[in-house]
Amino acid sequence: MADTEGMKDSHNYHLDTPQENEVFTLKGCNSLDWGMKNRLSNIFDAQSDRTVMLAVDHGYFMGPTTGLERIDIRINPLLGYADTLMCTRGVLRSMTPPSYTRGIVLRASGGPSILKEMSNEHIAVNMEDALRVNASAVAVQVFIGGEYETQSVNNMTRLVDAGNRYGMPVLSVTAVGRDMVRDAKYMRLATRMCAELGCAYVKTYYVDDFETVTASCPVPIVIAGGKKLPELDALTMAHNAIQQGASGVDMGRNIFQSDAPAAMIQAVRKVVHEDMPPKEAFELYETLKNAAG
């Protein structure tokens, strides 16, 4: 029997206080559904609306890339510093501790290795499996201007449709072919196409006139780090991208191939979330590196 005796019967409906309607401030994302926004909140920091994604998915087409030979040894100690881990489902299930509760961006396209035509990718994960591993977004490579351009765009739009059914954001990764010019004109075309076709956010490379790329893309842009650079140069690139409208980095080799990956990712965080100037961030990197011995 319900225990109703002595039940408190005084209500406060706060009649003079209108219900709060929180605006979701992440660029271009306010009209998304609740589940989609909630997943994006696992990726983008609520204070800065920016993210430091740690990209370790290179093995899906490059094999055991330098620095990723042993994910358990080299990457797992960095997990506490990343807002999000970008990886494949193979690495997630075999080497990522299930106690990790921050965002996971799951690589969802694949097929060819570096030995073949790279743009000939297909969807490599279905939405059900992405949900099963609690992914916060799925990532798909889009090869604008590449040999299999239409196929890769079709991979993306099919994932966007599936993602919209379940509240799963899609990250479009604009892959630039070996022979293509990596400039703002190309990046404007590629990022805008991905946004128009429905992805939640886009990953691209930092180029000159980057502010025109971010200005003409209606959803957040994160930058890839690219090949390993000296630490100060990588921090400068991240700083310039953020100051020119990027919403974060999805950085791999410039973190895990650094002499001091933990120091580097902490310095990158300062640049991304606190607008720290690159020289100051580099000093922090050196201090943390020396303290670690």
Q: Which residue in the set 40, 44, 54, 57 belongs to the binding site for ligand 5RP (CB under 6 A)?
A: 57
Tokens for 77, please give them: 């100690």
247 close to 40: Cβ distance less than 8 angstroms: no
- Binding characters for ligand 5RP, 113-152, by CB under 6 A (x = yes): ----------------------------x-----------
Tell me how far apart the alpha carbons of residues 51 and 25 are, in angstroms, rounded to a whole number: 14
Supply the residues annotated as catalytic. Answer: 203
Q: Which residue in the set 26, 55, 137, 176 belongs to the binding site for ligand 5RP (CB under 6 A)?
A: 55
Phi, psi of 51 (to 5 degrees): -140, 150
252 binds ligand 5RP (CB under 6 A): yes
**CB 124 → ligand 5RP: shortest distance, Å?**
13
| Residue carrying structure tokens 């502010």 | 211
**CB 251 → ligand 5RP: shortest distance, Å?**
5
24 close to 35: Cβ distance less than 8 angstroms: no
207 close to 183: Cβ distance less than 8 angstroms: yes
Q: Which residue in the set 37, 50, 253, 269 belongs to the binding site for ligand 5RP (CB under 6 A)?
A: 253
Residues in region 201-230 near ligand 5RP by CB under 6 A:
224-226
> Quick check: helix, strand or coil at residue 156?
helix
106 close to 126: Cβ distance less than 8 angstroms: no
Tell me how far apart the alpha carbons of residues 34 and 133 are, in angstroms, rounded to a whole number: 19
Q: Which residue in the set 86, 91, 160, 170 belongs to the binding site for ligand 5RP (CB under 6 A)?
A: 86
Centroid of chain to Cα 30: 18
Q: Which residue in the set 91, 108, 171, 173 belongs to the binding site for ligand 5RP (CB under 6 A)?
A: 173
**Which contiguous run of DSSP H or E holds residue 242?**
helix 231-243
Tell me how far apart the alpha carbons of residues 198 and 179 are, in angstroms, rounded to a whole number: 27
* Beta-bridge mates of residue 87: 106
Q: Which is nearer to ligand 5RP, 118 or 127 (CB)?
A: 118
Q: Which amino acid is at 179?
A: D
Q: What's 159's DSSP letter?
A: H
278 binds ligand 5RP (CB under 6 A): no
Contact region with ligand 5RP (CB under 6 A), list: 162-170, 235-243, 251-259, 264-272: 251-259
Q: Which is nearer to ligand 5RP, 156 or 251 (CB)?
A: 251
Q: Which is nearer to ligand 5RP, 141 or 247 (CB)?
A: 141
113 close to 61: Cβ distance less than 8 angstroms: yes
Q: Which is nearer to ligand 5RP, 145 or 226 (CB)?
A: 226
- Binding characters for ligand 5RP, 1-40, by CB under 6 A (x = yes): ----------------------------------------
Interaction site with ligand 5RP (CB under 6 A):
55, 57-58, 86, 141, 173, 224-226, 250-254
